[in-house]
């Protein structure tokens, strides 16, 4: 069932979902305490380990919970102590900070302007001079600005402060770039599924280190529905605390299996499976970032983030002389929906979400149409 009036979504989430995945959501219901549900949950874990980059024999755990991505920001914080350092460089890291404040944590905020990243030297200085901190919050990929935090450099700093739990939002990052959760010593990572995992919204996936879960268990006041211990134990025991979004579990299972089987890879990459298939998917996203960057340059447009900070799943481009609403309207009429800038960056930037199951070929087609729209806009301006 396709809707010809519906444009292809290149907005930064929710993104386009393949028909085969949508069809999974139409399966007949099963009881959530049934053997069928246990079997369905068991399909997820091996692939979630690839998504989070858990090593073979890792002592970290994975989980799935029925809620929006924002819910797991709260879960992550419910399992840690009072003193929290929040790294803020855009709309979603700002939300992570707001939740820490709302939970009554003793919060220090380190902020950087939209489009940039807090320098690692400043993070290290804060951890050293204003610590000890129980936890640090960070967003790996600021969907609002297209800024990707280099995780190896982050880990090089946070590993010097082992008393601090590292809580990372991977919402628009997961399945678009490698996470290396164990190697980087992260403690809690999470993602909603409607962005780089290309599924309908409503579920979250997460990974937690053994030390995070042990420390969380010893804490009081973890709430109930978002209690990280209940979330991870419920998943491990195949007994979720409440009725899960079963339809979305079916969709998630198929999507993860398809990624691991290389189903959505370009023709010349097919046949790769397991970790190699995930790596090939990350490489495709890197190429899409490079294609978008070259396209922007060919139209005399600049990316918002500095080269080292550019996301593989969302490109945020400075509008320059372009009329962003007109660009978006013209492309929508041709069947493609781009994202405007976020908040103060509205009309000053626009965003292309080349995330999820989007391909380099599909992106090239979009950018060709955009070339024509931009040329027409500039020609019209030159005439007046
Ligand atoms: C979209 C987004 C969120 C919020 O996800 P919801 O499912 O809407 O709660 C959090 N973090 C990042 C980086 C996002 O892009």
**pLDDT digits 0-9 by tens, 7-64:** 999 999 999 999 999 999 999 999 999 999 999 999 999 999 999 999 999 999 999 9
Predicted local confidence at residue 170, as pLDDT: 98
CB of 173 sitting under 6 A from ligand 1: no
Among 233, 258, 283, the domain boundary falls at: 258
CB of 353 sitting under 6 A from ligand 1: no
Determine the distance separating the centroid of ligand 1 and the alpha carbon of 249, expressed in angstroms. Answer: 19
Q: CATH code at 331?
A: 3.90.1150.10
Radius of gyration of the chain (CA): 21
Predicted local confidence at residue 3, as pLDDT: 57
- 138 plus 67 within the same structural domain: yes
CB of 143 sitting under 6 A from ligand 1: yes
The answer to whether residue 247 sits within a structural domain is: yes
Predicted local confidence at residue 384, as pLDDT: 79
CB atoms within 10 A of CB 333: 10
**Alpha carbon distances (Å) from 10 to 154, 192, 266:** 29, 17, 19
Q: 177 near 285, Cβ under 8 Å?
A: yes
Q: How many domains does the chain have?
A: 2
- Determine the average pLDDT of the residues in 190-206: 98
CB of 68 sitting under 6 A from ligand 1: yes
Strand ranges in the chain using DSSP code E only, listed in sequence order: 8-9, 61-65, 83-88, 106-111, 135-139, 141-142, 147-148, 165-169, 188-192, 204-208, 315-318, 336-337, 339-340, 349-352
CB of 331 sitting under 6 A from ligand 1: no
The answer to whether residue 267 sits within a structural domain is: no
pLDDT tens sequence across 142-170: 999 999 999 999 999 999 999 999 999 99
- 163 plus 296 within the same structural domain: no
Q: Which residue's structure tokens are 């509008």?
A: 319
Q: Hey, which of 88, 91, 171 would you mutate to test ligand 1's pocket, going by the most ligand atoms within 8 Å of its Cβ? A: 171
Q: What is the mean pLDDT of the chain?
A: 97
pLDDT band (50, 70, 90) for residue 325: very high
pLDDT tens sequence across 79-133: 999 999 999 999 999 999 999 999 999 999 999 999 999 999 999 999 999 999 9
- 310 plus 369 within the same structural domain: yes
The answer to whether residue 266 sits within a structural domain is: no
Among 258, 288, 320, the domain boundary falls at: 258
User: Which residues neighbour 277 within 8 Å (Cβ) at sequence distance 6 or greater?
Assistant: 259, 260, 261, 262, 265
- 117 plus 187 within the same structural domain: yes
If you take atom 14 of ligand 1, which residue's CA is the nearest one?
171
> What is the distance between the alpha carbons of residues 25 and 8, in angstroms, rounded to a whole number?
20
- 276 plus 369 within the same structural domain: yes
- 149 plus 294 within the same structural domain: no
- 12 plus 57 within the same structural domain: no
pLDDT tens sequence across 238-288: 999 999 999 999 999 999 999 999 999 988 999 999 999 999 999 999 999
- Res. 1: pLDDT tops 60: no
- 63 plus 151 within the same structural domain: yes
If you take atom 15 of ligand 1, which residue's CA is the nearest one?
143
Q: What is the DSSP letter of 25?
A: T
Among 224, 258, 292, the domain boundary falls at: 258
Q: 206 near 188, Cβ under 8 Å?
A: yes
Q: CATH code at 105?
A: 3.40.640.10
The answer, as to whether pTM is greater than 0.85, is yes
CB of 171 sitting under 6 A from ligand 1: yes
**Alpha carbon distances (Å) from 348 to 220, 289, 326, 373:** 46, 20, 13, 17
Domain range for 328: 8-16+272-383
Q: Which residue's structure tokens are 């969709």?
A: 251
- 247 plus 376 within the same structural domain: no
- 102 plus 225 within the same structural domain: yes
- 253 plus 365 within the same structural domain: no
Q: 314 near 293, Cβ under 8 Å?
A: no
Determine the distance separating the centroid of ligand 1 and the alpha carbon of 329, expressed in angstroms. Answer: 25
- 244 plus 279 within the same structural domain: no
> What atom in ligand 1 is closest to the CA of residue 173?
13
């Amino acid at each position: 069932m396709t809707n010809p009036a519906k444009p292809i979504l290149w907005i930064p989430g929710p993104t386009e979902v393949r028909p085969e995945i949508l069809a999974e959501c139409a399966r007949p219901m099963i009881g959530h305490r049934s053997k069928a549900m246990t079997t369905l949950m068991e399909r997820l874990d091996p692939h979630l380990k690839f998504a989070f980059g858990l090593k073979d024999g890792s002592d970290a755990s994975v989980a799935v919970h029925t809620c929006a991505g924002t819910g797991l920001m709260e879960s992550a914080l419910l399992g840690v102590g009072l003193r929290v350092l929040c790294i803020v460089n855009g709309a979603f890291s700002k939300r992570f900070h707001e939740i820490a404040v709302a939970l009554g944590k003793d919060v220090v905020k380190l902020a950087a302007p939209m489009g940039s990243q807090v320098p690692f030297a400043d993070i290290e200085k804060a951890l050293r001079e204003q610590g000890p901190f129980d936890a640090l919050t960070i967003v790996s990929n600021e969907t609002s600005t297209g800024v990707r935090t280099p995780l190896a450099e982050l880990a090089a700093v946070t590993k010097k402060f082992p008393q601090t739990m590292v809580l990372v939002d991977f919402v628009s990052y997961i399945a678009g770039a490698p996470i290396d959760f164990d190697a980087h010593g992260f403690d809690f990572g999470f993602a909603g599924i409607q962005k780089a995992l290309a599924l309908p919204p409503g579920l979250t996936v997460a990974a937690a280190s053994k030390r995070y879960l042990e420390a969380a268990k010893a804490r009081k006041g973890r709430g109930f529905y978002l209690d990280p211990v209940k979330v991870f134990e419920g998943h491990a025991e195949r007994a979720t605390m409440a009725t899960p979004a079963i339809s979305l579990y079916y969709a998630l299972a198929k999507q993860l299996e398809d990624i691991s089987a290389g189903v959505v890879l370009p023709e010349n990459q097919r046949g790769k499976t397991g970790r190699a298939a995930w790596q090939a998917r990350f490489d495709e996203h890197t190429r899409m970032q490079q294609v978008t960057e070259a396209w922007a340059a060919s139209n005399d447009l600049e990316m918002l983030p500095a080269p080292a900070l550019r996301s593989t799943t969302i490109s945020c481009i400075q509008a320059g002389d372009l009329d962003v609403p007109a660009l978006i309207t013209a492309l929508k009429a041709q069947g493609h929906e781009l994202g405007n800038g976020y908040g103060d960056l509205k009309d000053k930037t626009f965003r292309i979400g080349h995330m999820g199951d989007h391909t380099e070929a599909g992106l090239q087609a979009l950018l060709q149409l955009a070339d024509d729209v931009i040329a027409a806009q500039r020609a019209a301006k030159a005439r007046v």
